[in-house]
Structure 1
Amino acid sequence: MTTVLILDDEYLIANILSFALEDEGLLTVTAGSGKRALEILDREHPDLIITDFMMPGMTGIEFAEAVRAHPDHKNTPMILMSGAQAHLGATRPDLFAEVLDKPFRIETVIEKVKALLKLEN
């Protein structure tokens, strides 16, 4: 089954994304910190990662750099979702396949996820 790792320290946002993607037939795993998400990577082998920017311990960019440094996950597509810091992610196409602003439209997130996973809309 196709797995999406959702990294956001705001649990409500993580849960909204998780429920919406599960309704589309995807398996989701959530984490509230970059450290926890890095621990999940090798266990779950996600097909796609959605990360927030501002989180305790490390930013979304620091998390993405750690993922890219890992040989098994260096090509995993990532989406950065952020309010004020989205522009920082937009300057890093080496890290993020998509950068979305918060607040987001759930339909847009689903569309981008399906496109990156090459699933039918």
Structure 2
Amino acid sequence: MGSFFKEFLNKGKNRESNGEVIYTNDPQTEEGKQKARMEISGKVQGVGFRFSAKNAADELGIKGLVRNESDGTVYVEAIGDKESLSSFIEAMRKGPSPAADVDKVVVTFDSNIEEKPNFSQAN
């Protein structure tokens, strides 16, 4: 990855955010992988959010997908261990792209999410 992209991504890592995380249910109690879907709202389209989310997922070992929705939100499915998933949710709250401005992340734990071989970015 070029230095321009690396610099762009690093700007988003430690920034502050007023984004709110809303959990609609409790995580699964069994040990091992956690599965969650997220609806992220705010200024999250056209700002490199999906690219940055994929990079964050790859760094944390998260599998799943990210895609833009027609209503202006971003949809994410994420599968990983409890600690990594928690870190990923926090990255989504901050907005992994420095140009993003997240209002809220609605998280629903869902054991029915299909396993993915990696983390992909959909159109």
Q: Higher relative contact order at CA 8 Å, sep ≥6: structure 1 or structure 2? A: 2
Using structure 2 for the length normalisation, give the TM-score.
Answer: 0.27
The structure number with the bigger radius of gyration is 2
Could you say which structure has the higher strand fraction?
A: 2
TM-score by length of 1: 0.27
Give the number of the structure whose residues are more often helix, by fraction. 1
